[in-house]
Structure 1
Amino acid sequence: MSERDDIHGGTPAGEGRPYAATYHRGPVILRGQMIPSDSTTANLLKPEASTDWLHMDPWRVLRIQAEFVDGFGALAELGPAVSVFGSARIAHDAPGYRAAERMGRLLAEQGVAVITGGGPGVMEAANKGAALAGGKSVGLGIELPHEQGINDYVNLGMSFRYFFVRKTMFVKYSSGVIICPGGFGTLDEMFEVLTLVQTHKVTSMPVVLFGRDYWDGLLDWIEGPVADSGMISALDPSLVTVTDDVDEAVRVASGAINA
């Protein structure tokens, strides 16, 4: 047996085993031609001119971990909260903007924090309502090619690299959601929450769709062709409330908090 075999607890090839040595690199087991000529410690201490390693998947895992740690640390003591989702594209004088601003104010007056994506439009409006009412106004932004930045009415803000980390924060720290009219991002957030509720990955999450004219067509399609084709189980009507009434939206979304 060679010195290498002895160090790694191997046995000579040909004695019932195909490989003479086993090399352990953390939880990874390497044998035969997969055994490296270097070591983890040697690689750590080796001078490295290239910075390509900064963009490799193992390093990304650390950035992802750091985002979770920062998010949990920032929001753990937030208290009861409701997330308000909706389009970034509506104007300040649009009815939807005024409705979202009122939602933020009503929630803040109950001592409920308002969480949004931190951008303009519906998000800004809900943050504005909460901030001007003296409440907690949270914006969880996302790094995008066309940076929108965090709106001026956020008093607790974070910007994330990864959508899935950001979504975790929305769900983990919200006791209910109000979903105003919006595009792909809003639809993504809506279906994410509905999937978690329908599959019981969250224990209780009131979901309010604000704006009947906007949402009825989508719900007709889900409850019609999608359900009729057997693609989904029947959507529990108690899981979703559709309304045009701001007061009802706030009451339902914060119901689990005030129960």
Structure 2
Amino acid sequence: MGFSVARSLDSHLNNIMVRRTRRLPASSTNEPTRITRPSSFSTTHTFRSVGFKHSQKQNHKPIQTTVFASKQDLIDFHDRKSPNEVREEIKRCYELINRLGRGVVYLGSSRMGPGHSHYVQAQELSKEISNLLDCTSWSGAGPGLMDAVTQGALQAGKPVGGFKIGKEAGEWTASNYHPYLPSENYLTCRFFSARKHGLVDVVVRNNPLDKTAVVALPGGIGTLDEVFEIMALIQLERIGSELPVPFILMNYDSFYSKLLDFLDVCEEWGTVSKGEVSSLWKVCNSNSEALTYLAEFYGISSSDKSNNLTKLHSTHESSST
């Protein structure tokens, strides 16, 4: 028996109905069997069929069956039609970085709002780091602690950029737009892969004058995903191979202590080398500890801090007038 199967490369096609004809005598015509489109289907596509040959029994002709597949009208976003779409979005991420400048990327929970103590600490930390390193602050441009670091950097009068995703946990789940950042300062990504490219590229140092950092604030699954991915990139020398990039884990109120205990267990089992994890990041329990570490990392003297503080006051005075 021979048959033909319609083939689609679209991963979202479903509810395909297939009906195959019985074997017909040799005198019968070789007409394709068609599938009736269900009423729930809105758009129909016919795809090139691919033939598979099997042994035929005597006095029977191969019967061809054609499958017609349709998309349900349930998906309100554009489908990924080719890798070029991802590539173009990554390109837009890089263009945004080139325009606003590299700096510090903050990873953190989108669920800890202004009433949370970690929100207050993160906002203050972002303001102080922006002043210390005189750089752009980057985040996922979402709510929670990402909003806190955005607010802190704006209070310092420094540039802010972001790579938003269409849907965030927390309060901004229904909008692709930031409530107060200028649209030219952030990009709403369709693809997580493009967003991650952006979040990583903002901390890659091209010359010794670049001052960048990764700051991991308390967070959940999404934050941990980003934390361990960046840690792996540093471990494999995909980031900081020529010019090191400081990676700070903010352990507010011992938030990450149990995670650190687990990583110690990994050392005991031999899944990571002894001292390997501690060499990849700096665990800080307070903002002052993080600021001291960054100042030492970049060799920023007290006079440099004073100059940056003077610039900060000047910016505030000019904006108030």
SS in 2 for 1:182: coil
Instruction: Report the CA distance between 1:96 and its aligned residue.
Output: 0.5
> CA contact under 8 A between 1:112 and 1:136: conserved in structure 2?
yes
Does the alignment pair 1:227 with 2:250? no
Question: C-alpha separation between the residues in 2 aligned to 1:124 and 1:91?
Answer: 8
Question: C-alpha separation between the residues in 1 aligned to 2:180 and 2:157?
Answer: 11
Instruction: Report the CA distance between 1:64 and its aligned residue.
Output: 0.6
Instruction: Report the CA distance between 1:229 and its aligned residue.
Output: 2.2
Question: CA separation of 1:253/1:161 partners in 2, compared to 1, >3 Å: closer, same or farther?
Answer: farther
Letter of the 1:194 counterpart: M
Equivalent in the alignment of 2:235: 198
Question: C-alpha separation between the residues in 2 aligned to 1:71 and 1:258?
Answer: 30
> CA contact under 8 A between 2:215 and 2:250: conserved in structure 1?
yes
Question: Which one of the candidate residues 77, 93, 98 is aligned to 2:120?
Answer: 98
Question: Which one of the candidate residues 255, 261, 271 is aligned to 1:214?
Answer: 255
SS in 1 for 2:174: coil
TM-score w.r.t. the length of structure 1 is 0.71
Equivalent in the alignment of 1:160: 189
Letter of the 2:251 counterpart: G
SS in 2 for 1:76: helix
Alignment of 1:47-58 (within 5 A): none
Question: CA separation of 1:254/1:187 partners in 2, compared to 1, >3 Å: closer, same or farther?
Answer: farther
Q: Relative to structure 2, which stretch is displaced further, 81-90 or 211-220?
A: 211-220
Question: CA separation of 1:222/1:112 partners in 2, compared to 1, >3 Å: closer, same or farther?
Answer: same
Instruction: Report the CA distance between 1:90 and its aligned residue.
Output: 0.9
Instruction: Report the CA distance between 1:258 and its aligned residue.
Output: 5.8
Question: C-alpha separation between the residues in 2 aligned to 1:153 and 1:258?
Answer: 35
Cα distance per residue 1:174-227 (max 9 Å; x no partner): 221111111000000110111011111112221111125111111111121x22
CA RMSD of aligned residues (A): 2.8
Question: Which one of the candidate residues 110, 115, 130 is aligned to 1:88?
Answer: 110
SS in 2 for 1:87: coil
Question: C-alpha separation between the residues in 1 aligned to 2:219 and 2:280?
Answer: 20
Instruction: Report the CA distance between 1:60 and its aligned residue.
Output: 2.9
Equivalent in the alignment of 2:304: none
Does the alignment pair 1:112 with 2:139? no
Letter of the 1:183 counterpart: G
Number of residue pairs matched by the alignment:
209
Question: CA separation of 1:196/1:109 partners in 2, compared to 1, >3 Å: closer, same or farther?
Answer: same
Instruction: Report the CA distance between 1:65 and its aligned residue.
Output: 1.4
Larger helix proportion, structure 1 or 2?
A: 1
Structure 1 unaligned regions, length at least 5: 1-32, 34-49
Does the alignment pair 1:123 with 2:176? no
Question: CA separation of 1:250/1:123 partners in 2, compared to 1, >3 Å: closer, same or farther?
Answer: farther
Question: C-alpha separation between the residues in 2 aligned to 1:158 and 1:132?
Answer: 22
Letter of the 1:114 counterpart: S
Letter of the 2:153 counterpart: A
Q: Considering only CA atoms, is the larger Rg found in Structure 1 or Structure 2?
A: 2
TM-score w.r.t. the length of structure 2 is 0.58
Letter of the 2:267 counterpart: A
Question: C-alpha separation between the residues in 2 aligned to 1:168 and 1:141?
Answer: 12
Alignment of 1:1-259 (within 5 A): 59-110=81-132, 111-144=134-167, 146-147=173-174, 149-152=176-179, 154-155=181-182, 156-174=185-203, 175-203=212-240, 204-211=244-251, 213-224=254-265, 226-234=266-274, 235-253=276-294
Question: C-alpha separation between the residues in 1 aligned to 2:296 and 2:268?
Answer: 32
Instruction: Report the CA distance between 1:251 and its aligned residue.
Output: 4.5
Letter of the 1:207 counterpart: F
> CA contact under 8 A between 2:249 and 2:281: conserved in structure 1?
yes
Question: C-alpha separation between the residues in 1 aligned to 2:148 and 2:164?
Answer: 15
Equivalent in the alignment of 1:4: none
Question: CA separation of 1:245/1:194 partners in 2, compared to 1, >3 Å: closer, same or farther?
Answer: same
> CA contact under 8 A between 1:82 and 1:114: conserved in structure 2?
yes
Question: CA separation of 1:181/1:148 partners in 2, compared to 1, >3 Å: closer, same or farther?
Answer: farther
Kindly, what percent of the aligned residue pairs are identical? 26
Question: CA separation of 1:124/1:172 partners in 2, compared to 1, >3 Å: closer, same or farther?
Answer: same
Equivalent in the alignment of 1:47: none
